[in-house]
Amino acid sequence: MPGKVVKKVHCGICSSECPIDAFVEDGRIVSIEGKLCSKGAASRQYVYNKERILYPMKQTGEKGDGRFERISWKEAYEIIAKRLLKIRERQGAQTAVFYAGYPKWYRPALLRLSNAYGSPNFCTESSTCFQAAALAWRSIYGNQLCFPDLAHTNTLLIWSSNLYHSNTAMAGTFQGLKDRGVKIIAVDPRKTPTTEKADIHLRLFPGTDGALALSMAYVILTEDLYDRLFVEKYVYGFEEYKSYVCEFPPERVQKITGIDAELIRKAARLYAGNGPAGILFSPSPVVHNINGVQNYRAVHCLPALTGNYDVPGGNCPMAGEVSPCNEYGKVKRFNKVEAIGEKDFPVWFDLSCEEAQCTRLTDYIQQENPYPLKALVGFGFSHRMWPQPEKLQEALRKLDFFVNVDLFFSDSCRMADIILPAASSFEREEVCIRPGGAFSFSEKAIEPLGEAKNDIEIIMGMLKAMELKDEVLEQGYEAYMDYILKPSGLTLTELRQHPRGLKGKVCIPPRFRSYEKEGFSTPSGKAELVSQVLERYKGSHGCSGLPYYTDYRETVEIDRTKYPLILNTGSRKPQYFHTRTYRVPYLAALEDAVLIEMNPADIESYALKEGRVRL
C-alpha cells in the first residue's frame, strides 16, 4: 500500500518487550502485527487513548480537585527546578523521593537523577514485588535471581505462575518443553491453562508455599535424594536446616497446604530424581504474603539441596551468552544518608538492590519518620499499588511538591502539583537488552502525541533545569543509547540498521559451576540455607536465618470460623497488567467488571448462584 511504512517497535505495556511491527500511514499507526497477547493486540487503543496526558499541566485548585491548566514544558521545568531546589536547600535532599512505577526501562536514568540531586530515596514499585523474591534468592546464593536453563532442563517446577496469561508470548517455549518430554510440576492454588498441561499439579492453599517447599525438602533428605557432594562442599547451615526440615513430614504438611501427602512425595522425587531440574519463579504471588520472603527462601533452597544450582538445565546465572552493557542494574544508589525503610527493613539494604524501601511510604509521610518527606518525583506513580491505597492518596496531600509523569491521567495525578505527559514505546526510541548476548532497537513509529516526551528525556530536562551534574545524562539521549551499548562493542548506528537484534561483539560464553572457583558472594562464601545476613537481625527485627514457616492463619487476628474464605485480589488476568490497561475499551469490555472466581465446592456449600457475580 502506498505511503505505508513498517516500524519495528517493542511493546512497552509489561516487561516482556514483545516485538511489534507497526504499520504507519500519514503519521498514524493503522495496524499492528506480531505474536502478541490481548494487551499488545489493543496497542492502538492504548496509544490513542482518550485519557492520555498530552501536555504539561499544573494544578490550579486544591490538591485532589483535579483542576489543571496547560503550561509549556519550559514553565514546567522552571517550576520543578525552583520547588525541588528550594526543598533541598531548606529541608535537605533526602526529603525528596524519586519513584519509578511502570514501565521499567528508564530506571537507571531516574536513579542517576536522584543521585545527582543527593537523595538516597530512589525507589520503585519493586518494593512490594519482585525485589522481595530477588532478595530471598540473594540471601542464599548472593547473586541475582537465577532463572532456569530451559533448553537443558528435564523437569520444570513452575512456582505460582500461569504463564499463558502473564507471559502469553512464552507459550511457544513452554509447548516446546512439553514436546521435548520435559516433566512439569505446577504449584498453583487454581486450575489454569498452565496447570492443565502439568504432570503434577500441587494445589496449595494460598500462602502456604514455604510449608510445601520444606516438605519437599523433607522427602528429598529422608529418602536420600539430595546432592551430598554439593551440600558438603558448598552449603552453609545444612545441619540446622535439616533438623528444621524434619518438622515438615508430608502428612503434617497435607493439613497445612491441602495437598495430598503422596503427591508431595511424588513431586519431590520427580524434582530431585529426574534432573537436571529448574524452577521457574514468578515475581510476585509468593512474596505478596506476610511470610513471603521466607516462603520463597524455602523454595529457593531446593536447587542447592539437589545440586541443581549453576548446572546445565538447573537455575543458572550464565546459562546463555551475555554481552556486557551499561546502565540497567549497574548504577549504584547514593547511600551516604539514611534512606526510607532502612530502619524497618535492614536486610533489604544489606542485600542491596540499589533501591530504597517504600512499602511503608504512607507512614513515612504521615509520621515524618525517619524524617519529613517533602517532595515526590514520580514516574507512573499510582497509589493503588500500595496496601490501603486511599491512605497513601491522602498522605500525598501533605507533600510540599509532587510531580507525576504518566501516560494517562490516573487518580494519583489528581494529587500532583505538576503532571507531565510520557510517550508510549511507539513514540520513542529505545535500546533493548535481549537474551543470548543480543540487543535490539525499538524504533519510533510515530511522533509523540500532543507534547508527550520520552521519560529519559524528561529526566534529562529536570537535571538540566536544576543544573545538576551527571556525566552520562548530560550528554543527551542519543549519546545515552550509545553509552548503554558501549561495552558490547556495538554502536547505535549499527543497531539502528538491525532493529530486530544484533549480537554484541563482546560476548561472554555460557558458564556453569562458577562457584567451584569463585565461591558464593555470601558472608560464608557458601550457599546459605541459614542466612547469616538474616541472622544479624534476629533479636532486633525477629528475622530468622532459616527459611522459617509462619502460617498466616495463625498469626493474623481474623476469626477463621466466621471468615473461612480467602479473597485474593492479585490474580493476573490475561488482558490486564497492574492498572495499565483498564482504560483500554477493548480490554475493559472483555469481562464484567466484578468477576470473582471461586472453587466450585465452595459455591455449592454456600448455595451461591451465578448472577451479577460470575462464579
Partner 1 sequence: MKRCYLGFDEEKCVGCYACYVICQDVHNVVCEENINSRRVIRQVSAHGYDKTVCPGCIHCGRCMEICPSQAVYREEDTGFILVDQKKCTGCKRCESACPVGAIRFGKSGEMEKCDGCIDRIREGKKPACAAICCTGAVYFEKKPQ
From candidates 51, 65, 75, 196, binder to partner 1 by CB under 8 A: 196
280 is a site residue for partner 1 (CB under 8 A): no
Residue 118 DSSP code = T
Query: For partner 1, which stretch binds (CB under 8 A), given 185-193, 243-251, 321-329, 439-447?
Result: 185-193
Strand pairing partners for 404?
A: 378, 419
Which CB atom, from 229 or from 593, has the smaller least distance to partner 1?
Answer: 593
54 is a site residue for partner 1 (CB under 8 A): no
Which CB atom, from 191 or from 269, has the smaller least distance to partner 1?
Answer: 191
Which CB atom, from 121 or from 167, has the smaller least distance to partner 1?
Answer: 167
From candidates 5, 6, 33, 144, binder to partner 1 by CB under 8 A: 33
Query: Closest Cα partner for 181 from 274, 272, 266?
Result: 274
Element (H, E) at 405: strand 401-406
Q: CB of 282 within 8 A of CB of 288? A: no
From candidates 11, 24, 37, 534, binder to partner 1 by CB under 8 A: 37
Q: How far is the CB of 6 from partner 1 (least distance, A)?
A: 12
Q: How far is the CB of 54 from partner 1 (least distance, A)?
A: 15
Peptide bond between residue 276 and the one before it cis (omega within 30 degrees of 0): yes
Whole-number Cα distances in Å, 45 to 22, 119, 379: 13, 37, 21
168 is a site residue for partner 1 (CB under 8 A): yes
Strand pairing partners for 155?
A: 183, 277
The three grid cell numbers given for residue 250, joined into one nine-digit string: 508430608
Which CB atom, from 169 or from 396, has the smaller least distance to partner 1?
Answer: 169
569-598 positions binding partner 1, by CB under 8 A: 574-575, 585-587, 589-590
Q: How far is the CB of 533 from partner 1 (least distance, A)?
A: 40
Cross-sheet strand order for the sheet of 96-100: 68-70, 57-59, 418-421, 401-406, 375-379, 96-100, 122-124
165 is a site residue for partner 1 (CB under 8 A): yes
From candidates 9, 13, 36, 177, binder to partner 1 by CB under 8 A: 36
Residue 117: strand, helix, or coil: helix
From candidates 48, 147, 371, 552, binder to partner 1 by CB under 8 A: 48
Which CB atom, from 190 or from 505, has the smaller least distance to partner 1?
Answer: 190
Q: CB of 298 within 8 A of CB of 319? A: no
From candidates 22, 32, 76, 456, binder to partner 1 by CB under 8 A: 32
> From CA 179, how far away is CA 177, in angstroms rounded?
5
From candidates 8, 15, 41, 450, binder to partner 1 by CB under 8 A: 41
35 is a site residue for partner 1 (CB under 8 A): yes
The three grid cell numbers given for residue 39, joined into one nine-digit string: 494487551
From candidates 2, 3, 27, 172, binder to partner 1 by CB under 8 A: 172
169 is a site residue for partner 1 (CB under 8 A): yes
> From CA 607, how far away is CA 603, in angstroms rounded?
6
Total interface residues for partner 1 by CB under 8 A: 34
Query: Closest Cα partner for 33 from 62, 67, 4?
Result: 4
Give the burial class of 575: count Cβ atoms within 10 A of its Cβ; 0-12 exposed, 13-18 middle, 19 or more buried: buried
From candidates 34, 249, 273, 324, binder to partner 1 by CB under 8 A: 34
From candidates 44, 152, 178, 503, binder to partner 1 by CB under 8 A: 44
Q: How far is the CB of 578 from partner 1 (least distance, A)?
A: 17
Residue 187: strand, helix, or coil: strand
The three grid cell numbers given for residue 186, joined into one nine-digit string: 505446577
311 is a site residue for partner 1 (CB under 8 A): no
Which CB atom, from 201 or from 453, has the smaller least distance to partner 1?
Answer: 201
> From CA 240, how far away is CA 246, in angstroms rounded?
10
From candidates 31, 243, 475, 521, binder to partner 1 by CB under 8 A: 31
Q: CB of 278 within 8 A of CB of 285? A: no
Query: Closest Cα partner for 9 from 344, 289, 426?
Result: 426
204 is a site residue for partner 1 (CB under 8 A): no
Query: Closest Cα partner for 68 from 423, 402, 462?
Result: 402
541-570 positions binding partner 1, by CB under 8 A: none
175 is a site residue for partner 1 (CB under 8 A): yes
Query: Closest Cα partner for 155 from 260, 261, 267, 259?
Result: 267
Name, in order, each residue with C-beta under 8 angstroms of 481's C-beta and a sequence gap of 6 or more. Answer: 429, 430, 431, 492
The three grid cell numbers given for residue 482, joined into one nine-digit string: 550509545
70 is a site residue for partner 1 (CB under 8 A): no
Q: How far is the CB of 192 from partner 1 (least distance, A)?
A: 8
What x/- string results for residues 434 through 463 when contact with partner 1 is judged by CB under 8 A? ------------------------------
171 is a site residue for partner 1 (CB under 8 A): yes
Give the burial class of 239: count Cβ atoms within 10 A of its Cβ; 0-12 exposed, 13-18 middle, 19 or more buried: exposed
3 is a site residue for partner 1 (CB under 8 A): no
Q: What is the dihedral of CA 497, 499, 500, 506, to 10 degrees?
A: 70
Whole-number Cα distances in Å, 569 to 163, 219, 271, 385, 566: 18, 33, 30, 12, 10
193 is a site residue for partner 1 (CB under 8 A): yes
Query: For partner 1, which stretch binds (CB under 8 A), given 87-95, 163-171, 222-230, 472-480?
Result: 163-171
Query: Closest Cα partner for 424 from 26, 47, 18?
Result: 47
Which CB atom, from 558 or from 595, has the smaller least distance to partner 1?
Answer: 595
Which CB atom, from 95 or from 168, has the smaller least distance to partner 1?
Answer: 168
Query: For partner 1, which stretch binds (CB under 8 A), given 114-122, 167-175, 277-285, 470-478?
Result: 167-175
Q: How far is the CB of 35 from partner 1 (least distance, A)?
A: 5
Residues interacting with partner 1, by CB under 8 A? Answer: 30-38, 40-42, 44-45, 48, 164-165, 168-172, 175, 191-193, 196, 574-575, 585-587, 589-590
